[in-house]
Amino acid sequence: MKKMSIILLAAMLLLGLAAGKTLAVRSGGTFNFVAPYGGDVGTLDPHRTGRIQDWLISMNIYKSLYQWDPVSSKPVLSLAEKVEVSGDGLTYTYTLRKDVKFHNGRGLTVEDFIWSYNRIMKPETGSQTARFIRNIKGAKEVEEGKAEMMSGLKKINDYILAITLEQPIDPSYLLFEPGAAILPREEVEKKGDAFGTDPVGCGPFQFDKWVRGTEVTLKKFPGFYEAGKPYLDKIVYKIMPEGGARDMAFKAKELDANIVESSQYPEYKKHPQISKNMIEVAELYTILAGFNPDYEPFSNKLVRQAINYAIDSPLILKKLLKNKGTLAVGYLSTTSPAFDPKAKGYVYDVAKAKALMKEAGYENGFTVEWLGTPNESWGTPVVEAMIPYLKKINITIKPQLLEGAAMRARLVKGDYQAFIWCFSCGPSPLQALRRWRADNTPVGLNSRLNRKVRSRPGWPGRKIRQWPVRIKEPATMPARLETPH
C-alpha cells in the first residue's frame, strides 16, 4: 500500500544535476511551484482547514512543535531543544528554543503553545485538526465546551512546557502536523476571520500576497531561527488543478518543479534528461471509495461486497495508474507496524458479484451518482474506469466532477451517494484508524464520514502523487514537503 511520488525539477536545475556537478548552496531567487489540489486555496489558518492544498502552503509559514525528518523518517523536535518523558509515558516536558520569533517580531513562549492547542479544541473554532490534540488530558472537556483550558497543559516557566496525555502514545506523530501549528494569539484575535488571508507564523517564509484562483506568494522571513535560512527569497504557489496545464507550464519553464500525473508519467520516464532527475517518494495514503448508507442500496452489506468483487482493481492499477502503487488489503499501509501481512483483499469475481446482488435483492441494479475531483489518480478518471465493470452487475454510475473544496462541503453535509478520494493512513496506525471510530466528536470531514461511510479502503490501489524538493516520508496528509530554505 506504499505509493510513490514523483518530482520534476526545472530544466536549468536538471542540467547541473545531470552533469554530475556538486552545486554549492547559494541564497536568493524565486521558486515557482504548484498548488494542485483545487481551484483555489481555502484558508491559510492551519487550525481551520484539513485540506492538503492549504497545508502545502501554510507549512512554510508556520512551525509545529515537531517536524518530519526525511533522514530518520520520523518526527524530530522543531520548536524545542529537548524533551523529557515521565516513567509512565504520560507527561512530556519540553524546553523550548529561545530564538524563535513570529513574523511580527515577538518571541515565542509557552503561552503560545497553550493558547494554540486550546484554540484547536474549542468548539467555536470548528477545527478539523482536533484529532492531533485530542489525546492531551482535558482536551475532551474543552471540545465539549465544559472547560476553557486543558488540564494537561502546564506552564513551568516561559520556556518550559509540560504536556500530560490521556494515553501513553508518542505525541510527535500528532504534533508535527501542519494543523497543530503554533500561532500568535494577538494576531489571530486582532484579525479574526481575516487571519486566514493575512497569516502570521514563525516559519521560514512569511505571507506576501494572494491572488485568488491564481497564486499565493511567500517571501523570506529574515528573522527565522535557523541561521542562514531560508535560502530562497520567495516561493510562488501557482494554483493549477489540471495536470495538462501543469505539464505545459513546466515544459515552458514557468514552473521550477512539477507534480506528474499518471498519464504523463510514461512520457517523462522516456525523456533522456528528465528521466534522470525524477524523484519518486513513498507516501502513506489510501484511495477510498465511500458509500453513503442513507442511500438505500448501500445500507446493504451484500451490495457493497458485490462492488468489491465486480471491479478488476489490478488491471486498473496497471493500465490507468501505470503501476504507481500497490493493491490494498485494508486501510493501513504495508509499511505500517500494525499491518496484517496475512490479510487478503477482494479478488475479481463477476459471478460472485452477481450472486451477491441477487441475494441482496438488487439483481436489476440501480443508478448512483459518484462524486470525484479531476485528479487522475484518485478522482473521476478512476470512477470512469469503474463504469464498464459495474455495468456488468447492472449498476449505472453517473460521475459528478467537483472541485476539491466543493466536494468536501458536500461530504461534510452528507449530500452524496458515493465518492472517491484519498486519506492518510500513517505514519501512526492508531491515529490513522481513529478517524473511523463512531464516538469521534462530529467536527470536520473525517468525523462526519466515520458515521456516514461504508467504504472499501484502498480501491483500486495505492495512488501516485508527485511533489518537489525535499519530501518528508512517510507522512500524513500528505508526504510532507519542505521547500528548500
Name, in order, each residue with C-beta under 8 angstroms of 458's C-beta and a sequence gap of 6 or more.
Answer: 1, 286, 287, 288, 327, 328, 329, 330, 331, 345
Distance between CA atoms of residues 363 and 300, nearest Å: 13
Q: What is the pLDDT of residue 433?
A: 80
> Please, what's the b/e burial string for 42-62 (b: 16 or more CB within 10 A of its CB; e: otherwise)?
bbbbbbbbbbbbbbbbbbbbb
Q: In Å, what is the CA distance from 99 to each residue of 6, 96, 223, 226, 372?
A: 35, 9, 9, 9, 45
Query: pLDDT tens for residues 154-199?
Result: 999 999 999 999 999 899 989 999 999 999 999 999 999 999 999 9
Q: What is the pLDDT of residue 472?
A: 26
Phi, psi of 244 (to 5 degrees): -65, -40
Tell me what the mean pLDDT of segment 40-58 comes to: 94
Tell me which of 11 and 322 has the higher pLDDT: 322
pTM over 0.75: no
- Residue 312 — very low, low, confident or very high, per pLDDT cuts 50/70/90? very high
CB 332 within 8 A of CB 381: no
pLDDT at 463 over 50: no
CB 471 within 8 A of CB 70: yes
Tell me which of 119 and 452 has the higher pLDDT: 119
Q: What is the pLDDT of residue 341?
A: 87
pLDDT at 334 over 80: no
Tell me what the mean pLDDT of segment 9-34 comes to: 59
Q: In Å, what is the CA distance from 383 to each residue of 318, 356, 421?
A: 15, 21, 10
Name, in order, each residue with C-beta under 8 angstroms of 32's C-beta and a sequence gap of 6 or more.
Answer: 236, 238, 254, 255, 256, 257
Query: pLDDT tens for residues 355-375?
Result: 999 999 999 999 999 999 988
Q: What is the pLDDT of residue 329?
A: 84
Q: What is the pLDDT of residue 157?
A: 98
pLDDT at 43 over 90: yes
Phi, psi of 283 (to 5 degrees): -125, 165
Name, in order, each residue with C-beta under 8 angstroms of 361's C-beta and a sequence gap of 6 or more.
Answer: 300
Tell me which of 355 and 436 has the higher pLDDT: 355
pLDDT at 473 over 80: no
Q: What is the pLDDT of residue 479?
A: 28
Q: What is the pLDDT of residue 451?
A: 44
- Residue 15 — very low, low, confident or very high, per pLDDT cuts 50/70/90? very low
Least-confidence region, from 229-238, 337-346, 409-418, 463-472: 463-472
Q: What is the pLDDT of residue 283?
A: 67
Secondary structure class of 355 (helix, strand, coil): helix
Distance between CA atoms of residues 357 and 403, nearest Å: 32
pLDDT at 384 over 50: yes
Distance between CA atoms of residues 394 and 391, nearest Å: 5
Instruction: Report cis status (omega within 30 of 0) of the bond before 468.
Output: no
Domains of the chain (ranges; CATH) run 66-188 (3.90.76.10), 285-457 (3.10.105.10)
